[in-house]
Amino acid sequence: MKSRLIVSASPHLHKDESVSRIMWMVAIALIPAGAAGVFIFGTGALRIIILGVASALATEGILQALTKRKVSILDGSAVITGLLLAYNLPPKVPFWLPIIGSFFSIAIGKQIFGGLGQNIFNPALVGRVFLMASWPKYMTTFTQPLRAGAGFDAVTSATPLAALKEGKVLESISKWDLFLGLRAGCIGEVCIFALLLGAAFLLLRGYISWHIPVTYVFTVAVFTFIFGSRGLFAGDWLFHILSGGLILGAFFMATDYVTSPLTYKGQVIFGIGCGIITAIIRLWGGYPEGVSYAILMMNAATPIIDRYTRHRVYGIK
Amino acid sequence: MKKFFNEFLKGIIKENPTFVLALGLCPTLAVSISLINGIGMGIAATFVLLGSNIIISLIKNIVPDRVRIPCFIVVIATFVTIVEMTMKAYSPALNRALGIYVPLIVVNCIVLGRAEAYAQKNSVLNSLFDGLGMGVGFTLALLLISGIREILGAGKVFGFSVVKGFEPVFVLGMPSGALLVIGLLLGFFNLLKNRKI
């Protein structure tokens, strides 16, 4: 007779979630920002996004087949990496830049460590920093939104943060324009409204927790308010939040499950660390923007944060 | 003869100083920016290895054990001085390009490592072939690394541009690129090694 007593280890209650489902949800949450980027910068941006995602998928599939592992290009993680990498590129880069970037992200940033869940650094940011160090000419040439350059294919322009770094006064650009994304910048980072839409979806569904993004953005705000260019306690903190890749980084890249701390306490430390490094690079560093470097540096610190914020197991000192 | 040949060959693949023993990485990182530098450094190190291995295996019985390291260093430094002066006389440009890394061959861990691990325990002829093999292995490793870095990182071979319109991968010419290339090659050689067994 078949035994009807089922013996199994806890947990006994399951939610209908899987890694791949969460990954696809994050990819869906990224759609509004990409759509806004395409709307603002034109179809050239769409081409970059498609190339980035396609080559990320191809690299993942080919490498997994070569190393005789299970080919898991449909689990959504490579799609996110490709999307995030493309979102971090200026809208007028040559077509091979997203391809090489995605290849580097997946091959060096992820598969070399053993695939999904094993990587130390956020793959998309690894790719972006590689491109930034290799072809700075293309990575720092930004164009104006389509509407501003009426009659031309594209009008190059500095990003608000780069202009700030050069000491220019930024009266011409309003906070409302920054919020809607009507400024020069990377494809996916400009439209704060669309990014917040996607982030709200992820937060409400519980796919990401508020700890990293909120502490990150808050720390940047406090730092830029205190030490901003207009003197102590008079910085334009709202400008710093709305410009650059802070919102994209804080909600979609710093919250990467693999490379961020496990506990809430650790996540708060992670967020504050990211915020401090970002603010330092923006205010005193050589680069106008520091979000990617800040997140990568804190990625490196994640194992040690995890070690010191481990939950105390009940019954053990 | 076959024995000597094996001593020579092991330095090139099985015990390659850079990719298997992971010795002498600092000069490798620093000078592997162009093929010319790689060859120059490789030949200089090979000469020093050869000379120091022979002399050290000759004097191994008269050097007291407690002071052997200083004695080895003196021998090595002698050969490094010869190399440096020769280089200054006949190839000042290369000497400028390699800079401090020529005198630093004195403390190159391949040279001292072979003296300590091999030459002081083996016969003169064995040591000679060991030094030669290690030197050639080091030179080949440098050629591989500097070739990748020069071709991809600067778009040049021996200082001449090869492909028109190629946009060099700038990062490979920087120190971080050296670490990246060496790391990937180390992984690749480990993969090869593990496959065979």
Query: B40: domain range?
Result: 2-140
Number of DSSP helices (H) and strands (E) in chain B, helices first? 8, 2
A136–B170 CB contact, under 8 Å: yes
Question: How long is chain B?
Answer: 197
Task: Count CB pairs under 8 A between chains A and B.
Answer: 18
| Alpha carbon of A86: minimum distance to chain B alpha carbons (Å) | 19
User: How close B180 comes to chain A (CA, Å)?
Assistant: 9
Chain B: residue whose CA lies nearest to A94? B167
Residue of A nearest to B153 (CA): A134
What band does A264 get if pLDDT is binned at 50, 70 and 90?
very high
What does the alpha-carbon distance between residue A219 and residue A110 come to, in Å, rounded to a whole number? Answer: 29
Strand partners, B161: B156
Residues 6+ apart with CB under 8 A from A192: A178, A179, A180, A181, A242, A247
Which value, in Å, is the radius of gyration of the alpha carbons in chain A? 20
The pLDDT of A215-229, averaged and rounded, is 91
pLDDT recorded at residue A147: 66
So what's the pLDDT on residue A151?
Answer: 58
Residues of B with Cβ-Cβ distance to A134 under 8 angstroms: 168-172
Nearest residue on chain A to B187, alpha-carbon basis:
A112
Q: Does residue A288 surpass a pLDDT of 80?
A: yes
> Is the pLDDT score of A247 beyond 90?
yes
Q: What is the largest CA-CA distance in chain B?
A: 62
Distance from C-alpha of B119 to C-alpha of B49, rounded to nearest angstrom: 10
Residues of chain A found within 8 Å of residue B171, distances taken between Cβ atoms = 130, 133-134
Per-residue pLDDT of chain B (197 residues; tens, 9 = 90+): 788 888 888 888 888 888 888 888 888 888 888 899 999 999 999 999 999 999 999 998 899 989 999 999 999 999 999 999 999 999 898 888 888 888 888 888 889 988 888 888 889 999 999 999 999 999 999 999 999 999 888 888 887 887 777 888 888 888 889 999 999 999 888 888 887 65
* Chain A CB contacts of B180 below 8 Å: 108
Q: Which residue of chain A comes nearest to B167, CA vs CA?
A: A135
pLDDT 10s digits, A96-120: 999 999 999 999 999 999 888 899 9
Domain count, chain B: 1
Contacts with A108 from chain B: Cβ below 8 Å? 180, 184
Pairwise CB contact (< 8 Å): A135 & B176: no
Please state, in angstroms and rounded to a whole number, the distance separating the CA atoms of residues A300 and B3.
48
Classify residue B28: in a domain, yes or no: yes
Contact A192, A32 (CB under 8 A): no
Q: Which residues of B lie closer than 8 Å to A, measured between beta carbons?
A: 167-172, 174, 176, 180, 184, 187
Residues of A in contact with B176 (CB under 8 A): 133
Looking at residue A202, its pLDDT comes to 94
Give the ipTM of the model, two decimals please. 0.82
Question: Could you give the CA distance from residue B189 to residue B14 in angstroms, rounded to a whole number?
Answer: 10
Residue A314 is predicted with a pLDDT of 82
Give the residue-averaged pLDDT of A148-159.
67
Average confidence (pLDDT) over A130-141: 90
pLDDT score, position A144? 81
Nearest to A134 among B171, B184, B187 (CB): B171
Question: Could B170 and A135 be called an inter-chain contact, meaning their C-beta atoms sit closer than 8 Å?
Answer: yes
Confidence (pLDDT) at A15 = 78
Report the gap between the CA of A286 and the closest CA in chain B (Å): 17
Residue B157, helix vs strand vs coil: strand
- Which one of B169, B184, B187 has the shortest CB-CB distance to A134? B169
* d(CA B35, nearest CA chain A) in Å: 20
Contacts of B184 in chain A (CB under 8 A): 108, 112
Residue numbers in A near B169 (CB within 8 A): 134-135
Residues of B in contact with A133 (CB under 8 A): 170-171, 174, 176
The reply to whether residue A134 touches residue B170, judged by beta carbons under 8 angstroms, is: yes
Distance from CA of B171 to the nearest CA of A (A): 5
**How many Cβ atoms sit within 10 Å of the Cβ of residue A4?**
5
A130 contact residues in B (CB cutoff 8 A)? 171
- Contact check, Cβ <8 Å, A135/B167: yes
Q: Do the domain assignments include residue B175?
A: no
